Structure 1
Amino acid sequence: MQLDQSTRETGWGGTVPSALDARVLGLVVVTAGLAASVNVPYGGVPFAAAAFVLLAGTGVVVHVLGERKLRRITDGLVERWAEAGGEIETVTKSATGMRTEWTVRTSDGTITIGGIALVPLSRLSIEWQGVGDTMDASEAAANMDQLAATLYEEIFEIGSPSQRA
C-alpha cells in the first residue's frame, strides 16, 4: 500500500551554500594594510604589524559574522517558502559588486537575496522581477516568520503566472 503524496522533484538540497567573498576579504586586508602603514612613522614596524593583524582580524571576523547572518536569513526564508508549498529549484551563490548574494530559482521566477555582509552594517535586500526591498538584517531576522509569509504571498501566490491570468 502506498500513501498518496505529491512528490516534488527539486534541485534544492535543503541547504544554502556558503558565500564567503574573497573580494570583501581582499578589501579588508588592503584597507588594514593601508591603515597600519600610517603607524610606521609613529610607532615603528612592530606597532604597524600589530595594527595590521588587529585590523585585518577584526575585518575578517566582521565579514564572516555578516555572511553567516545573511545566510541564516536566506536559509530561513527559503525553508519557510518550501514548507508553505513554494517550488524551490536551486539556491546558488552569486555576486554583484561587493554584495554577498544568493540566487533562488523557483518555478515562479528568480529571487535574489543578499546584502552587505559586514555585521554592524548588515543590510538585507530582496529582489524579484526587478523590484527590490532593503531592510536591516537584524530586523529581518527578528521578524522572519512575518517576512517569509509576506514574501511568499507576493512571489508564489499573487506573482505566479497562473494567479495573474
Structure 2
Amino acid sequence: MQLEQPSQETTWSGTVPTAVDARVLGLVVVTAALAASLNVPYGGLLLAGVAFVVLAIGGGVVHLLGERRLRRITDGLVDRWLDAGAQITDVTRSSSGMRTEWTVYTPEGEITIGGVALVPVSRLAVEWQGVGDAMDAGEAEADLDRLAESLYAEIFEIGDAPQQS
C-alpha cells in the first residue's frame, strides 16, 4: 500500500497584489486639510482650497509611487527566490499600523515584506520568525540581486545546514 503524497501545487497566481492603503491616503487628506487651513487667514478660502487640492493630489501620487516601488521589490524578491528553488505557496496583502505589507507564505514560515510607502522616505522591512531588518527602499531596489541572495541564504538554506550536537 502506498501513501499519497500531499500536492505541492501553489495557490499563488504569480503576481504580487496591489496595496494602495486607504489609511495612508486618509492621513494624506487630513494632513493636506490641516496644511491648507493655515492659508485661510493669509490668502482666503480660494487659496486654501487650491492648496488642499495640490497637497492631496501630491500626497496621493507620493503614496502610489511608494507602493509601486515596494511592490516591485517584493515581486523581485519572490521571483528570485523561486528561481533559486524556494517553494512559495501564496503572497497576500497584509497591514500593520501605517505600513504597507505583503505576507509571503512558504513551508519555512511566513515572511513579511513591506514598509513605508511614501516615495521620498520609502523604507523596506523584511521580517521572518520575529527577526526583521529595514533599509532604504532605493538602496534595496538598486541592489536587489544581492538582497535576494542574502535573504534566500538566511531563510531557505537554514534547514540545509548540518545539525550540531
Q: Shared fold by TM > 0.5?
A: yes
Say whether residues 1:154 and 2:154 are aligned partners: yes
TM-score normalised over the length of structure 1 = 0.92
1:16-55 → structure 2 map (5 Å cutoff): 16-55=16-55
Instruction: Give the number of equivalent residue pairs.
Output: 157
Structure 1 residue aligned with 2:119 = 119
Aligned to 1:108: 108
Runs of 4+ residues deviating >3 angstroms = 162-165
Moved more, 118-127 or 9-18: 9-18
Partner of 1:140: 140
CA distance in 1, matches of 2:151, 2:13: 21
Q: RMSD value over aligned CA atoms?
A: 1.3
Residue 115 of structure 1 aligns to which amino acid in structure 2? Answer: G
What secondary structure is seen at the aligned counterpart in 2 of 1:153? helix
Q: Aligned AA for 1:129?
A: Q
- For 2:8 and 2:80, the matched residues in 1 are separated by 16
Amino acid at match of 2:64: V
Determine the C-alpha separation between the residues in 2 that align with 1:13 and 1:149: 23
1:123-154 superposed Cα distances (whole Å, 9 cap, x missing partner) = 00000011100000000001100110111111
Q: Is residue 2:90 matched to residue 1:90?
A: yes
Kindly provide the CA deviation profile for residues 62-115 of structure 1, in whole angstroms up to 9, marking residues without a partner as x.
Answer: 000000000000000001001111000110000000000000000111000000
- The share of aligned pairs that are identical, in percent, is 68
Q: Which runs of 5+ in 2 are unaligned?
A: 1-6
**TM-score, normalization: structure 2?**
0.92
Q: From the superposition, tell whether residues 55 and 164 of structure 1 become closer, same or farther in structure 2 (CA, over 3 Å).
A: farther
2:69 maps to what in 1?
69
**1:3 is matched with which residue?**
none
After superposition, residues 2-21 of structure 1 pair within 5 angstroms as 8-21=8-21
The 2-side partners of 1:84 and 1:9 are apart by 17
Q: How many angstroms does 1:164 deviate by?
A: 6.3
Residue identity opposite 1:36 in structure 2: A
Q: Distance in 2 between matches of 1:137 and 1:58?
A: 20
Q: Return the alpha-carbon distance in structure 2 between the equivalents of residues 13 and 54 of structure 1.
A: 37
